[in-house]
Structure 1
């Protein structure tokens, strides 16, 4: 055995919170004799017939998650509330860990882990997290769609939006991709209400900024033709005494997706081409640092009576 071999499994174990699959060790040139020696010396522990822990004592929660996906194989990932926990969802904790597996996948049980079969394409819906985990949107929609308590279903979608894990716009887009999905139509109506609530909150923040920093209140959702002749509605705009128009566009979380970002650039360019001055900010900046936006509006000539 090469002297560098142990360091190779050490690096792999470190990346997987101390958990290893027997097949991974075999690929590193470490057969059953090496594994049996570690188990006999009680340096390692056997979690299942194929998963080994390179630490002793009770497994941590994250180690148990790794044990579940390693045990289930390559086409598996954390799902349900466990996946959302990994993405940062709070106050929806469930002790049991959920691992999604391919349909007709026969597995021996592991205490504390629930293996859930699905026909959905698990690898295609997996996020970029190191520990294989389903993306927020398909996870939340699938859980909400098939949870028996309707109130909890809507509550989870609202929590994912309110805690900043996703937006109503992203969830709405994923409803189409998740067809067939139970409760799809009522979910779309609910997400529309959530989006309207988010827009209302942004409008309130604009008005609060204006009142706090002696900026005149703007015209809101003003219809305006762009250079291509399309009708646009601006978030907030001020018409200055000299005839100049200053527009403030507030970007929510959904604007960060590439397709929305590209559309926003085009929208801004076509408005600017009509002679309008457009400045942009995020909803977070508007809430956390409104003084910066007020400063820039003043620099452009948006002045209150007391300025």
Structure 2
């Protein structure tokens, strides 16, 4: 039986990854800043709360990381922790940089210090690329991040690459494009859209106010993406991979499909407000996931249209998916 430590287990990806690893026969430790106080609602929703052994770990604190590694003795570590909102990173840049960059460094250094044979996955982000226009970003595309979140993820990416090359750690980064599910909190725009549309369909008279709805993104399905994380750590050689569907859509298209799924015309219920615009933003995000397809034999099963409809179904039926 393999043992995995998931840092950030209470988030969307952490919960789906825990479910996947449990199905594969792993012993799963779930790391959270305060395991005794955290609700772990996502784990409960997936019906796996009692199967995951939760542990308190502050990845900003090297001693906490080291103690956790010595206690759990994991074969694999998945680093999904840290401040995860691009928008919030403009308001909390220091917290964002520390939780992502310093946290990743502490995990890498603790692996090196213990000398344990641990395979390490780091959650990267398409935000590292910045605005590439119509160019499909791949693993060789230069980074030009346009948010504190993107800057932090770029720093963590290079830390992983450095430890892989300098100390021969089996450390990989998945450069994940946007991926959604019913487990997304409402502070993310996709879930905000779904939640509001469902409330309006149930008789609420509110208006959905958004920022720039002409941004374009590559949206995928979170349960697909955690499979790619696991596959990276099963390879003989560690490497970095772009994980995406390869299809880009405008946010207004996501909005249209969500509202149509509850029999509403989105244009009657949505307005835009420039105060919701970010100081800098990415107009379009395009991805080339061919490397993952060829080397990992991984391919996204669902595209944006599917994701939008499944998020509505998850909200309406509260289905566990």
Which entry has the higher C-alpha Rg, 1 or 2? 1
The structure whose RCO (Cα within 8 Å, separation 6+) is larger is 2
* TM-score of the alignment, normalized to the shorter chain, above 0.5: no
TM-score (norm 2): 0.23
